[in-house]
């Protein structure tokens, strides 16, 4: 297929100082949970992006000195000459496919815990450290600290060039670095020439930017990543300050990489839609002749074209869209934009990074598996036999299993009990803000429709007898899970007294349209999005809603997806009453009894409907019936039966997709039980000897 001419503009080269991007697709720096700890994992992942057509592929933030230690997050670093080698793994992987490699040099300032290096954290003024989860204060930098910082940054530039990077950044984004600390008046309270008015607060940034140019000396481009408006209120760096900074530094860098909103830049699709940053960043191009890149979780080529044609951006920046589909540019170039696996904005990638593990992606099960499992996002090994595959259940796990087995060339039958494909997602995506999640279903249904060897059977609820009648060699059971209705979950190990009443509902009931009567009490023992979303939905329908949770906050796990604060704001704005740190003790006809987890006395809350969001039970009857009679299976010619997704172990959507994908790869794969993936080893070395060792 050939490219649609209306997308030609996306494939024009763009000059960035001394280097040229071959097209306008730019993978902006993004965290990936691998960093210096798993350099091969990171290098292979970035290399795949280059193969997928991104003209520029960047690191995540890459700290220049041990005083900017981001442990426990394993971000990139260039602290030593040895670090040059690990970074070179990435530049080599990126260059192999004709892309430019960018390095986001950074000093974490007050954001660096320094919990590994134990160096006192420093910033412009003595302040509590930025992530308030660490009870320590940073010290104020004096003039010699500023000189040191400039020297370290310069050395970082030299090392980045040595590692082979084509673009070197000064990172001033996301309210994360020493330069944002200096720019932000709420943090910079200095009275010397580095504090006060914006022309003073920008001084350090200007010095470092100029020195980076000097050090680069035309051998690589110099980029600035700049948050033009923190959106943290009048005490923070405002849009007015941001504009002044762009005016003052306009022509110094070779590229402006801009965004707004501090950390909110990364909020999920529940709260931010494609292109939401445009109003905040659109002014930048009018103040500089240098190319401008910006993000907005762009997945639509038409939106991208519009951003270029309307003069908002020169390069289409992407982090999450490039994770969900590393081959996004190639698909547009090859005239198959409908094959793009669009990011759903669930932020499970960010959660993995927050949890310091290699990022995973709900849409792209191969993310971070390129090196350790040898998985490619676009190609799969051809089928290993002519065996036929039956997949039961067309939720996310079953759809992915059928799609991937079909891609491998197997004859696949996908049987679904209902009329609609998509499983639990069909209802979940109707919750407030979660509409984009349906892309998980839609992409897979679209791909399956292109595979003549995959046949879909709707309204086909199968029993073990049916499955044996079919006699397919491989059976993948993906029959999902159902919410428990007895209150058992993380907090309660036994059924909650009074649970067996008509007004006690589960999320499945509510999503299926069960009648809900006010006042409603939701018991959220799940920590993810369901409890909060149901509360917001019901409050929006006019119900009087109280949400009770044994945790300090509703949807507490979304701390890792970065959505937690916005969820609390939404609940307050929707008029939902929140009772944290309380467990559900008993349910009566028109009330619930709750007890405080720290010993507060029991309380009664009126409740005409009670919704239990606790845990899910696998729908495993079919699987158990099948594995329970190996003789009957053998007689029917069945060689393997496997449960995947929520039917095996209810978990995040990302794990259902991953499970389906893995099952398709494992149909004829090697037995990997003892060594499921390659493990990155740190070479053991006892040089130099310990000071107390015998000489
Ligand atoms: P997952 O998230 O693991 O993919 P879901 O709950 O989303 O699980 O999807 C499971 C799907 O399996 C649902 O669409 C359900 O209708 C279907 N299903 C459950 N039992 C059967 C069965 N016995 N035969 C066919 N389909 C089934
Ligand atoms: Fe997008 Fe979710 Fe994948 Fe992150 S995990 S890239 S937000 S689909």
The pLDDT value recorded for residue 61 is 95
> Could you tell me where the DSSP H helices lie in 108-197?
143-162, 178-183
Three-state DSSP class for residue 597: coil
Q: What is the pTM of this model?
A: 0.96
Cβ(343) – ligand 2 distance below 6 Å: yes
Query: How many Cα atoms are found within 13 Å in the side-chain-facing hemisphere of 659?
Result: 25
165 token code pair: 């990077």
Buried b (16+ CB within 10 A) or exposed e, 32-55: bbbbbbbbbbbbbbbbbbbbbbbb
Cβ(320) – ligand 2 distance below 6 Å: yes
Cβ(319) – ligand 2 distance below 6 Å: no
The pLDDT value recorded for residue 136 is 85
Task: Convert the pLDDT of each residue in 583-624 to its tens digit.
Answer: 999 999 999 999 999 999 999 999 999 999 999 999 999 999
Cβ(221) – ligand 2 distance below 6 Å: no
Ligand 1 pocket: which of 393, 413, 656 to mutate (most atoms within 8 A of CB): 393
The pLDDT value recorded for residue 175 is 85
Ligand 2 pocket: which of 27, 318, 347, 367 to mutate (most atoms within 8 A of CB): 347
Instruction: List the residue whose alpha carbon is closest to atom 3 of ligand 2.
Output: 361
The ligand whose atoms approach the alpha carbon of 367 most closely is 2
Ligand 2 centroid to Cα of residue 445, in Å, is: 19
Cβ(43) – ligand 1 distance below 6 Å: no
Place of tokens 């860098």: 253
The pLDDT value recorded for residue 132 is 59
Task: Convert the pLDDT of each residue in 441-480 to its tens digit.
Answer: 999 999 999 999 999 999 999 999 999 999 899 999 999 9
Ligand 1 centroid to Cα of residue 481, in Å, is: 8
Which ligand 1 atom lies nearest to the CA of residue 396?
A: 4
- In this structure, are residues 443 and 403 in contact, taking their beta carbons and an 8 Å threshold? no
The burial class, CB within 10 Å (0-12 / 13-18 / 19+), for 460 is middle
Distance CA 454, CA 440 (A): 18
The ligand whose atoms approach the alpha carbon of 618 most closely is 1
The dihedral sign for the CA sequence 315, 316, 319, 322: negative
The pLDDT value recorded for residue 694 is 64
What is the layout of strands, in order, in the sheet containing 582-587? 582-587, 591-596, 603-606
Ligand 2 centroid to Cα of residue 34, in Å, is: 16
Ligand 2 centroid to Cα of residue 363, in Å, is: 6
Q: How many CB atoms lie within 10 A of CB 602?
A: 12
- In this structure, are residues 285 and 366 in contact, taking their beta carbons and an 8 Å threshold? no
Distance CA 142, CA 215 (A): 24
Q: Is 224 left (phi over 0), alpha (psi -120 to 50) or beta?
A: beta
Cα 109 off chain centre by: 24
The burial class, CB within 10 Å (0-12 / 13-18 / 19+), for 589 is exposed
The pLDDT value recorded for residue 53 is 98
| Torsion angle in degrees (nearest 10) through CA of 651, 654, 655, 657 | 130
- In this structure, are residues 57 and 94 in contact, taking their beta carbons and an 8 Å threshold? yes
- Catalytic site positions: 31, 171, 174, 265
Instruction: List the residue whose alpha carbon is closest to atom 6 of ligand 2.
Output: 320
The burial class, CB within 10 Å (0-12 / 13-18 / 19+), for 631 is exposed
CA-angle at 71, arms to 66 and 76, nearest 5°: 70
Distance CA 235, CA 511 (A): 43
Distance CA 76, CA 81 (A): 13
Ligand 1 pocket: which of 391, 417, 623, 644 to mutate (most atoms within 8 A of CB): 417
**In degrees rounded to 5, what are phi and psi of residue 433?**
85, -10
Name the nearest CA neighbour of 340 among 329, 351, 352, 356. Answer: 329
Place of tokens 């659109």: 282
301 token code pair: 């080529």
Q: How many CB atoms lie within 10 A of CB 235?
A: 11
Instruction: List the residue whose alpha carbon is closest to atom 22 of ligand 1.
Output: 461
Buried b (16+ CB within 10 A) or exposed e, 167-183: bbbbbbbbbbbbbbbbb
Give pLDDT < 50 ranges for the chain. none
Which ligand 1 atom lies nearest to the CA of residue 422?
A: 14
Which ligand 1 atom lies nearest to the CA of residue 424?
A: 7
Ligand 1 centroid to Cα of residue 407, in Å, is: 21
The pLDDT value recorded for residue 360 is 97
Cβ(646) – ligand 1 distance below 6 Å: yes
The burial class, CB within 10 Å (0-12 / 13-18 / 19+), for 658 is buried
**In degrees rounded to 5, what are phi and psi of residue 658?**
-60, -45
The ligand whose atoms approach the alpha carbon of 462 most closely is 1
Ligand 1 pocket: which of 365, 395, 434, 648 to mutate (most atoms within 8 A of CB): 395
- In this structure, are residues 415 and 457 in contact, taking their beta carbons and an 8 Å threshold? yes
Ligand 2 centroid to Cα of residue 102, in Å, is: 22
Ligand 2 centroid to Cα of residue 654, in Å, is: 9
601 token code pair: 């006395």
- In this structure, are residues 141 and 189 in contact, taking their beta carbons and an 8 Å threshold? no
Q: How many CB atoms lie within 10 A of CB 260?
A: 23
The pLDDT value recorded for residue 693 is 67
The pLDDT value recorded for residue 521 is 98
Instruction: Give the helix/strand (H/E) hosting 401.
Output: helix 396-407
Query: Does a cis peptide bond (omega within 30 degrees of 0) precede residue 519?
Result: yes
Distance set, CA 209 to CA 62, 222, 253 (Å): 16, 8, 7
Distance CA 575, CA 652 (A): 28
Cα 356 off chain centre by: 12
């Amino acid at each position: 297929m050939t490219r649609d001419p209306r997308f030609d503009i996306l494939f024009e080269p763009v000059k960035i100082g001394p280097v040229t991007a071959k097209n306008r697709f730019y993978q902006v720096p993004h965290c990936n949970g691998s960093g210096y700890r798993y350099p091969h994992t990171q290098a292979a992942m970035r290399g795949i992006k280059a193969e997928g057509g991104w003209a520029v592929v960047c690191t995540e933030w890459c700290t220049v000195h041990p005083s900017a230690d981001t442990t426990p997050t394993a971000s990139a670093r260039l602290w030593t000459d040895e670090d040059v080698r690990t970074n070179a793994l990435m530049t080599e992987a990126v260059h192999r496919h004709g892309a430019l490699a960018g390095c986001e040099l950074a000093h974490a300032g007050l954001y660096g815990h320094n919990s590994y290096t134990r160096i006192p954290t420093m910033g412009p003024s003595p302040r509590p450290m930025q992530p308030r989860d660490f009870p320590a204060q940073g010290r104020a930098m004096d003039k010699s600290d500023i000189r040191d910082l400039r020297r370290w940054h310069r050395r970082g530039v030299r090392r980045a060039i040595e590692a082979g990077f084509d673009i070197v950044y000064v990172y001033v984004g996301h309210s994360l670095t020493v330069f944002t600390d200096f720019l932000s008046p709420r943090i910079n309270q200095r009275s010397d020439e580095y504090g006060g008015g914006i022309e003073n607060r920008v001084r350090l940034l200007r010095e470092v930017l100029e020195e980076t140019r000097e050090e680069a000396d035309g051998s690589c481009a110099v980029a600035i990543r700049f948050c033009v408006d923190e959106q943290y209120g009048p005490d923070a760096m405002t849009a007015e300050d941001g504009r002044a900074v762009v005016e003052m530094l306009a022509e110094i860098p070779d590229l402006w990489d801009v965004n707004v909103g501090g950390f909110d830049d990364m909020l999920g699709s529940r709260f931010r839609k494609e292109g939401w940053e445009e109003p905040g960043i659109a002014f930048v191009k009018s103040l500089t002749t240098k190319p401008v890149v910006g993000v907005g979780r762009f997945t639509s080529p038409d939106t991208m074209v519009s951003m270029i044609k309307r003069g908002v951006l020169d390069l289409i920046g992407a982090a999450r869209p490039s994770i969900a589909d590393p081959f996004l540019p190639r698909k547009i170039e090859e005239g198959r934009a409908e094959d793009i696996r669009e990011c759903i904005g669930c932020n499970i990638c960010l959660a993995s990074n927050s949890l310091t593990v290699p990022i995973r992606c709900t849409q792209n099960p191969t993310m971070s598996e390129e090196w350790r499992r040898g998985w490619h996002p676009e190609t799969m090994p051809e089928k290993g036999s002519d065996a036929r595959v039956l997949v039961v259940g067309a939720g996310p796990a079953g759809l992915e299993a059928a799609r991937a087995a079909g891609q491998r060339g197997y004859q696949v039958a996908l049987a679904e009990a209902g009329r609609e494909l998509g499983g639990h997602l069909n209802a979940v995506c109707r919750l407030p803000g979660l509409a984009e999640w349906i892309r998980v279903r839609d992409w897979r249904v679209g791909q399956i429709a292109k595979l003549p060897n995959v046949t879909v059977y709707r309204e086909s609820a199968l029993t073990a007898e049916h499955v044996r009648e079919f006699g397919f060699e491989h059976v993948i059971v993906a029959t999902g899970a159902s919410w428990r209705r007895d209150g058992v979950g993380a907090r309660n190990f036994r059924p909650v007294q009074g649970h067996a009443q008509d007004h006690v509902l589960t999320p499945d009931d509510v999503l299926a349209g069960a009648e809900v009567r006010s006042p409603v009490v939701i018991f959220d023992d799940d920590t993810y999005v369901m409890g909060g979303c149901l509360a917001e939905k019901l409050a929006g329908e006019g119900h009087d809603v109280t949400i009770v949770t044994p945790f300090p906050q509703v949807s507490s796990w979304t701390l890792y997806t970065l959505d937690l604060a916005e969820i609390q704001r939404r609940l307050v704005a929707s008029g939902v009453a929140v009772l944290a740190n309380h467990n559900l003790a008993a349910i009566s006809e028109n009330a619930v009894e709750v007890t405080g987890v720290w010993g507060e006395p029991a309380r009664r809350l009126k409740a005409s409907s009670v919704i239990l969001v606790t845990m899910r039970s696998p729908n495993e009857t079919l699987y158990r019936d099948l594995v329970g009679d190996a003789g009957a299976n053998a007689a029917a010619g069945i060689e393997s039966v496997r449960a995947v997704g929520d039917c095996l172990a209810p978990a995040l959507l990302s794990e259902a997709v991953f499970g389906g994908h893995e099952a398709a790869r494992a149909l004829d794969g090697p037995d990997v039980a003892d060594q499921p993936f390659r493990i990155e080893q740190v070479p053991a070395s006892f040089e130099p000897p310990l000071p107390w060792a015998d000489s």
